[in-house]
Structure 1
């Protein structure tokens, strides 16, 4: 029976340890002082932002020895926040945590943020003032110890505590005094300090090689930051394979930390065709509120979204819409969301963005020759420049791809580690039959326009390059009945790729 218990305990310990890997933040605090106040509110604010936080929920009387699981959690946390309160030093448990935290700072390069909660930082540094009584008691206990070995062990332990307190108090931290604004301090910690230390936390996965992406999104981000208190709706349009989703993710990764409430709705067109608009609405509500909501109809979902979000500042990115109904179900009007909210929409259809009333439209352009060659090289050679002997072939492949990231990635990956003979053969093949992995995502270019519009496209491509719209309409049809069709062709992805 003893063996079974030991095995169970070992299994439980291993299981518990596995749950403690990779915390964003470890909170060290004196529970009786701040658990139900400042630290509790800080914990809630951090988790609301999506950070994974270790917060000891154990209100039971602690023993002398700190639990080993806490040491694991401290080691695996990227940041430790220490809330120094007036009775922090009364707890040997807290002081042992502190020693471990400072050890991880030096050995593992972890970030440490001390917060002096109604405590003078100099008292922590010198162990006087509010901390003096706690250490006086410790010294008395040591003097009364009869066993020499135990006395020396206790003296060494107190020495480590004092050293850790001094070192922590010398770090740059936050001092909350008696008349301090707790909510303001928490906002600064969660909205500014932690994002600077954890820039990758909660980021969306993007391709490894983001060639030219940041130069493309900077103008959009500048526009978003100048929006004032208004709700901003921004559209990003472009043909399939041009990188709209990657651009949207890169924007999200740059600004998401400024929002408590946020959602990235990926491939809305595909999601809606598979699961319907109600599912889309449920996903949005779940992302932002972190709770499931029962929505029985699209109209009911619209009412719920308005009710829940009209007073909340949100970031919503709606990726790849192809029908007005999709946006009307989740972000129909500006007033559905609180002030300073940002709604970003990506689509292949520029005209659709006009229909849904966006404030600004960004048309995503193809990569220039330099960017295209670099992106292709990363996928073909695992380097930013072609290998010796492959430069001219690479330029020809890149020219074929026309600055389209999807094509560059597909062909680059296909040609990696292949001989020059194989490259030449593939290039000849591409001239006859384009690569299937490229054609499939771009098929939308040839869908959605009727025979008349297709004929207009061919005429414009062959005979009217650079001509005025009215002139083209007049030549094609004296009654101008083709004017709207010309507009459709101009706004279509087919036209952009020509």
Structure 2
């Protein structure tokens, strides 16, 4: 079953006006150590930023300026009414301020009736009557004081008329759970309305997806969101997640799933379990154990799981392999370019490209902002939009590229787009690459080929070994929408952007000048035929089977004088070797920074003349990242002086010692 609709994209960003999600108003002596503390923890565990005045003395009439500001900056106010609430002039003044913010700022107010009934608060009876009798007796001859009492009564009556939670006579944990769900839902609706109002056609998409999910049913369902790269699948999935997640006991959005290979699926299982169970811990280090644990821990939970950008059947198998893993009412959403991965028995929603009027709206936002272009540039803009074929990613990138450019630059870019006769959007996106400075191009291609998904700070240290301004250049790439930083502080880029970068490198290889190699077949072709080795700047090869191990010739390595990155990783079973034990006694080669040294064998530094025949003749002195699992020679070259090296990893190597002479 399939449904389809055009894509969409955001043309603005929402800047929240609230500092806090929730402000807690309560009578300290009544509930601080019981209900309020448990409610605060429940809100915090749900990720709701809550202001609680832990040092409140509740003495006198005056509320501190800090507290007043906190009330004004909170989107929701939870007012916990208890027997002694009205005895505190502090609490009553706090309530007056809260009700003012409701009227003026649109603050959401939720009353909680802890050990009192709503009618007691509304009409000030029982304990509230006693408290007000004392207040009025104090202000008998004080007109201003009596006006204050009147404001207190008005605020109490208005608050009690609002829809809230009556805890009286109920199990407190149930009430806290309901309150947390209610607050989460209200926050999500308001934030989503701000975030989604500027995404073209989003309401229509959301309604269609919700209709396909059939939220009113209690069975477990899988929905696939399918479409070409850059069309808006992730944007839609995120919007659905933000809108519906409050309706579930647990929710998790796993981004860029395809970046995780089958052997590392346990890492995603750990993230999934941690987010759904709200426990900050590592559960498993084996994907099969992960499947069993998910089935055991989640089988009674109603959860929402989004698997973003899956490209292999294993992704579904190990993250949502059986609907029986999840509790009644659970929903699994997967975005993909490959419809077959979703399976014939699951519903698929297709997202297609933008219609022309939406495409123009999106491009104009990025290209012109609030400026009015002249008629000539308007015509050129229509040519660009036409060539983008309704793809939001291309419209955004080209709009950013052309923003604030003069007519001459517009003409040049449009001509470049026209010269690219192929409708292949990956090739067309190359226009954004051509607009980069040379050093920006180097860093962009390194990220596209090797560093996507790597820790930001770690990657910057590597890049800085050959470009001291790498952090600035990375920032520039982010500003140009070619790269972004994930919530896990890793470097990421859109699939199509990565495809475009690798397309550039592939074109270099096809012309006999490969700059970067990551594919085993391409690597062997270059090494065996010794073609273009003088242009190679980086090699990154990961293999899982012994027969895939690349064969390096000494002659090929001798020509790689530009090589900056050499990474050969082995993830198969550990090879067995017979070797002498020893230890590293000395290692100094004027290295600028040593990030890590991993040698799983003990390496001797003693002289051994028999090793000379087993040494590679040359390694580039430009190496900054040197990783070679199962390094096949007994020595590193005598002339190896890697002054830019920041990382060295030689697991399971054949090294007997590093070199026979002391290095200075």
User: Fold conserved (TM > 0.5)?
Assistant: yes
Partner of 1:74: 71
Q: Describe the SS at the equivalent of 1:51.
A: coil
Instruction: For residue 108 of structure 1, report the CA deviation from its aligned partner.
Output: 4.4
Q: Describe the SS at the equivalent of 1:276.
A: helix
Cα distance in 2 for residues equivalent to 1:291 and 1:66:
41
Partner of 2:417: 430
Partner of 2:392: 405
Q: Does 1:46 align with 2:51?
A: no
Cα distance in 2 for residues equivalent to 1:72 and 1:291:
33
Instruction: For residue 317 of structure 1, report the CA deviation from its aligned partner.
Output: 0.8
Contact 2:262 2:315 in 1 (8 A): no
Gap change, CA 1:207 and 1:44, over 3 Å in 2: same
Contact 1:191 1:257 in 2 (8 A): yes
Contact 1:380 1:415 in 2 (8 A): yes
Instruction: For residue 107 of structure 1, report the CA deviation from its aligned partner.
Output: 5.3
Gap change, CA 1:443 and 1:425, over 3 Å in 2: closer
Task: Map 1:271-350 onto structure 2 (within 5 A).
Answer: 272-273=260-261, 276-294=264-282, 295-350=284-339
Partner of 1:124: 121
Contact 2:188 2:246 in 1 (8 A): no
Q: Does 1:113 align with 2:113?
A: no
Q: Deviations over 1:131-150 (max 9, x none)?
A: 1212333455567xxxxxxx
Contact 1:415 1:423 in 2 (8 A): yes
Q: Does 1:167 align with 2:155?
A: yes
Instruction: For residue 88 of structure 1, report the CA deviation from its aligned partner.
Output: 1.1
Unaligned segments of structure 1, at least 5 residues: 1-20, 144-150, 447-498
Contact 1:237 1:364 in 2 (8 A): yes
Cα distance in 2 for residues equivalent to 1:200 and 1:142:
42
Gap change, CA 1:70 and 1:131, over 3 Å in 2: same
Partner of 2:233: 244
Gap change, CA 1:193 and 1:422, over 3 Å in 2: same
Q: Does 1:210 align with 2:204?
A: no
Gap change, CA 1:364 and 1:142, over 3 Å in 2: closer
Q: Which shifted more, 157-166 or 419-428?
A: 157-166
Q: Describe the SS at the equivalent of 2:353.
A: coil
Instruction: For residue 111 of structure 1, report the CA deviation from its aligned partner.
Output: 2.9
Task: Map 1:483-498 onto structure 2 (within 5 A).
Answer: none
Q: Which shifted more, 327-336 or 64-73?
A: 64-73
Cα distance in 2 for residues equivalent to 1:199 and 1:212:
17
Task: Map 1:220-259 onto structure 2 (within 5 A).
Answer: 220-226=209-215, 228-259=217-248
Partner of 1:471: none
Partner of 1:133: 130
Contact 1:79 1:113 in 2 (8 A): yes
Instruction: For residue 341 of structure 1, report the CA deviation from its aligned partner.
Output: 0.9
Contact 2:93 2:152 in 1 (8 A): no
Instruction: For residue 406 of structure 1, report the CA deviation from its aligned partner.
Output: 0.7
Contact 2:218 2:328 in 1 (8 A): yes
Of 355, 368, 380, which residue of structure 2 is paired with 1:368? 355
Contact 1:82 1:112 in 2 (8 A): yes
Partner of 2:185: 195
Q: Deviations over 1:282-336 (max 9, x none)?
A: 2112222222233221122222222221111111111111222223222211111
Q: Deviations over 1:8-59 (max 9, x none)?
A: xxxxxxxxxxxxx82211121234444566545544543444322234556x
| More helix by percentage | 1
TM-score (norm 2): 0.55
Contact 1:244 1:346 in 2 (8 A): yes
* Higher relative contact order, chain-length normalized (CA < 8 Å, sep 6+): 1
Contact 2:363 2:395 in 1 (8 A): yes
Cα distance in 2 for residues equivalent to 1:385 and 1:188:
50
Contact 1:115 1:174 in 2 (8 A): no
Let me know the Cα RMSD of the aligned residues: 3.7
Cα distance in 1 for residues equivalent to 2:229 and 2:390:
12
Cα distance in 1 for residues equivalent to 2:145 and 2:313:
67
Instruction: For residue 213 of structure 1, report the CA deviation from its aligned partner.
Output: 3.5
Partner of 2:6: none
Work out the number of aligned pairs and report it. Answer: 412
